Amino acid sequence: MLELQQVSLQLGNDPDDQLLLAEVSTRFPKKHFAAILGPSGCGKSTLLKVIAGLREPTHGHVEWDGRNLSQDGDMDPHEIGYVPQFSIAYDLLTVWESVESALRLRVAGLDLDEQEERLEKILGEVGLDEISDREVRVLSGGQKRRLAMALEMVSSPHLLLCDEVTSGLDPKAEDEIAKLMHQLSRHDDRIVLSVTHSLRHLALYDSIVVLYQGHVAYHGPAQFLYHYFGVEKPEDLFPRLAQRKPDDWHRSWQKHRNTYYAESKLDGDGAVDAAAREDVHDRPAAEDEAAKKRLEKLLKKAQGDDVGDEKKKDEEAEEKPRGKTKTEAVEHEGTPSALTQFGVLLARRWKIFFRDRGGLWLQLALLVGFPILVVIFALDGLPQIKNLNGVVNGNFLEQMKHEMEQGQELIKTGGLVSGLIMFQVVLLALMGSNNAAREIAGERLIFEKEKFSGVRPSAYVASKAAFLGVLVLVQSVWMAVFVNVIVQFQGSLLTQIVLLTLVNASLTSVCLGLSSLMKTAEQASLVSVYLVGFQLPLSGAVLALPKALSMLTQPFIASYWGWSGFIQTMHDTRFYEAVKKVTQTDISNAPLCIWWLSCHVLLGLIIAYTGCKNSRWE
């Protein structure tokens, strides 16, 4: 049984702060299908989030199978399923792949045959078996809602919470989804709670909760709903609520609750009587005159009872045997290990990457275009650069003449060399921003839902790091080798590759961290672009910064460490001499630069993990 006892939720600690939920007390037995109704903004979705453990109540608590969730911790991911209002599937995956991914992320201990058997069963239950090979992006609204429920059914939860899953659908699709939820409530002792604005399917529900500005105005069978509020038509219900204050409705319901619960079998540990449910489904509630008369007699009797009698009933209800404790609960398959989840997430990310034609072409354009862009800017200065490498054979006078010519070009060449190195660094920084800025923020809601279902933030961030690491390595190695072949920079090519790779990795990692903190992908992209934009002026490679300012900024500027370390690899060549002629900024040694860039990478991953661990559920 699911039971809420005096649950209240307030936005702040001040008595005048907004009260989202006010002393909500309800109970739902097993094999129960309930609707949570009410005008917009009355607290329906908030109530669902409190039950799910996504929001902590200010007062009161939620009990599940006899255990206090505030004291004993939230439900196990296998016990609960939550279907939110937003999409929780990737557009580029098929229906089968989406459900298969959810199953492998949430349920351990199944071999391939068992996984396939369960997938076929789930897709059959929700009516998606015939379109399992379709991509999510081509599904209709109703089919996407079915898919959302299929994703939750992979672990056979005993509590299924559905938040506005019928909103925005055409009448036929709405009917199908409502009947599907009713069907799911009839298996595995499952409780299904559905937040909805629609009053079209009242006969399907075992009970209906009416919320008004955070207060429970009614909770009972559909057949008594109109009678209780004194209305004849569904469209008159919400206007009727507005005729009284929420506190008045709440006090009225507290007075009559036990009577309605007794009539609807909601006062015990068992489910609502099956015959009574079918009776409700077969006839409109407003036409059940016998039930009305029986209820009126009970109400008259209840009105004569004093407060002490109601308190006694509550105490007796409290003394009834509870459901199974946490240790007695039915055991489920365990949640897969972090390593297993990492493998599933990484494989899924690569699958999405290769199916995203626009993103794939952009990556190829950056991979090929940016190194060519560096070479184009180097073309006019290549003779001067290569002259620094060359040795002129001849007599003494010819060599002296050559040295004088090189001396005249030294400053010009030093500026070109420094600029080309910084150009590589900035372009790789831009690649890093493009790699990671949208990576978490763009799918944050899907991740939040998967985290709620048992996916570990560590596995998620590790899968992102592994995926992005491959992009970083390919981009950086290709940039370093391609430019070096044409420009012929001296120094250790391996060390130069390491430095450029770390520059790319550091911006990728930091932007991944920023992505985990931003609300939207657009915000993350904008902040990341600004971060790259500040790399060049704050590096000191173009214009030297004041000493005090450079000491504050340089530790955080990846482009400085990449540029400086790259130049240090040419310390024993005339390239280094040329660059020193045109810059006043200190050039650090390569090992120190590698150390600082590695710190940037680690810091970015820590931020990403922290951002993913903290909830950003909307």
Q: How many whole angstroms separate alpha carbon 260 and alpha carbon 264?
A: 6
Please state the domain count of the chain.
Answer: 2
- The domain in which residue 435 lies consists of 338-613
The answer to whether 502 and 562 are in contact (CB under 8 A) is yes
3-state SS, 85-139, equals CCCCCCCCCEHHHHHHHHHHHHCCCCCHHHHHHHHHHHHHHHCCHHHCCCEHHHC
- Convert the pLDDT of each residue in 568-580 to its tens digit: 998 887 778 777 8
What is the number of other CB atoms lying within 10 angstroms of the CB of residue 393? 7
Domain boundary, last residue among 269, 289, 319: 319
Q: How many whole angstroms separate alpha carbon 568 and alpha carbon 484?
A: 16
95 within a domain of the structure (yes/no): no
Q: Is 42 helix (H, G, I), strand (E, B) or coil?
A: coil
Global pTM reads 0.84
State residue 280's pLDDT score.
39
Q: Are residues 494 and 384 in the same domain?
A: yes
442 within a domain of the structure (yes/no): yes
Q: Are residues 294 and 381 in the same domain?
A: no
Q: How many whole angstroms separate alpha carbon 353 and alpha carbon 356?
A: 5
Here the tokens at position 176 are 């199908």
Q: Is 198 helix (H, G, I), strand (E, B) or coil?
A: coil
Q: Are residues 468 and 511 in the same domain?
A: yes
Q: Is the pLDDT of residue 192 over 80?
A: yes
For helices 396-436 and 382-389, give the axis angle rounded to 10 degrees. 120
356 within a domain of the structure (yes/no): yes
Q: Are residues 420 and 286 in the same domain?
A: no
- Convert the pLDDT of each residue in 405-435 to its tens digit: 656 666 677 778 888 888 999 999 999 999 9
229 within a domain of the structure (yes/no): yes
Q: Are residues 256 and 390 in the same domain?
A: no
Q: How many whole angstroms separate alpha carbon 236 and alpha carbon 252?
A: 19
Q: How many whole angstroms separate alpha carbon 192 and alpha carbon 82?
A: 10
Q: Is 123 left (phi over 0), alpha (psi -120 to 50) or beta?
A: alpha
Domain boundary, last residue among 253, 284, 319: 319
- Convert the pLDDT of each residue in 238-266 to its tens digit: 899 999 999 999 988 888 888 877 776 67
- Convert the pLDDT of each residue in 350-395 to its tens digit: 999 999 999 999 999 999 999 999 888 877 766 666 665 544 455 5
326 within a domain of the structure (yes/no): no
Residue tagged 């790399």 (tokens): 535
Bridge pairing between strands 32-37 and 215-220: unpaired
Q: Are residues 300 and 441 in the same domain?
A: no
Q: Are residues 296 and 390 in the same domain?
A: no
Q: Are residues 478 and 438 in the same domain?
A: yes
266 within a domain of the structure (yes/no): yes
Q: Is 448 helix (H, G, I), strand (E, B) or coil?
A: helix
Residue bearing the bigger pLDDT, 272 or 7? 7
Mean pLDDT of 507-516: 96
State residue 416's pLDDT score.
82
CATH no. for residue 273?
Answer: 3.40.50.300
Quick one: which of 537, 270, 488, 242 has its CA closest to 378?
488
Q: Are residues 504 and 589 in the same domain?
A: yes
Q: Are residues 239 and 365 in the same domain?
A: no
Please name the amino acid found at residue 528. S
Sign of the Cα torsion 603, 604, 608, 609 reads: negative
For helices 307-319 and 246-263, give the axis angle rounded to 10 degrees. 60
* Residue 331 CA: distances (Å) to CA of 25, 51, 184: 29, 21, 20
293 within a domain of the structure (yes/no): yes
The answer to whether 602 and 458 are in contact (CB under 8 A) is no
Cβ-in-10-Å burial (0-12, 13-18, 19+) of 138 comes to exposed
Which positions ≥6 away from 617 have C-beta within 8 Å?
49, 54, 445, 448, 452
Q: Are residues 431 and 283 in the same domain?
A: no
Distance spanning both ends of the chain, measured CA to CA: 27
Q: Which of 224-228, 269-273, 493-497, 607-611 has the lowest mean pLDDT?
A: 269-273
State residue 88's pLDDT score.
85
Domain boundary, last residue among 319, 352, 368: 319
577 within a domain of the structure (yes/no): yes
Q: Are residues 470 and 557 in the same domain?
A: yes
